A = this chain, B = another copy of it.
Amino acid sequence: MSQVPADRPPKRYEQIKQFLMEGIASGRWAEGEKIPSEHELVELLGASRMTVNRAVREVSAQGFLRRVQGQGSFVRQVAPRSALLEIYDIAEDIQRRGHVHGVRVLRLEAVPAEARMAALFSLERGAWLFHSELVHAENGQPVQLETRHVLPRFAPHYLAQDYTQVSTSRYLQSLEAPAEVEHIVHAVAADARVQALLGIGADEPCLRVERRTWTAQGAATCSVLTHPGSRYSLGSRYRVAEWEARRLG
């Protein structure tokens, strides 16, 4: 049996954090449920309240607990999701690298919502949506196929813009900052049409980002960004910072 990484003398507040994390992960305290009060933890674990307080505060800052003064500490309904993707504008990205950004507008039109889109936007089938399809190129080589659906109420003049001058992302962001954003990244195989548009072979995998935004009124946009796996990747490098300090509500 492997021993605990007993390299260092255990720290009391780390032990308590561990105790809390295990209780949360194991379901000993269900989601939304109240965990023992600081006072109870003091008696249970035999540490001072300040030490308990630090442990609970830090676990809370990590997003696993919600604390309410005068009431107690509760296990969060939705634990913090792992991956965060920041909004990015591919035109800006390419220019930042000092390369030439080119764009070709394939479609820019109003379309009736088929079943999937109707569901995503909470509309009836056949309701009108704005739709655009663009291919972005870096130094002449296609790097992204951008397919987008936009709620007309959110961007009434979406179809009248010249997207060779201002990118779709930039125009949409100029309207109203979304209240909520979702990104999903996955790897997919390209169908024949995508292969042709991106100029890739049949066996080349693609990196696909699905991006949805919501305003206070509801779903606003839904985009699918498809990149050739060989010519594009998402990257980030950052200094570790704030998952300790994060406060969600």
Interface residues in chain A, defined as those with a beta carbon under 8 Å from any beta carbon in chain B: 1-2, 5, 7, 25, 58, 61-63, 76, 78-89, 92-93, 95-96, 156-157, 160-162, 165, 171, 174-175, 177-189, 203-208, 227, 229, 232-249
Contacts and interface: CB of A to CB of B under 8 A. Distances in A.
Given A76-B239, A81-B239, A187 B184 contact: no
Contacts of A87: 82, 243
Contact of A81 (B156, B186, B205, B237): B237
B63 A185 contact: no
Nearest to A164: B2
A181 B5 contact: no
Contact of A61 (B76, B179, B204, B242): B242
A205 B184 contact: no
B189 A204 contact: yes
Nearest to A79: B96
Given A25-B92, A203-B189, A81 B238 contact: yes
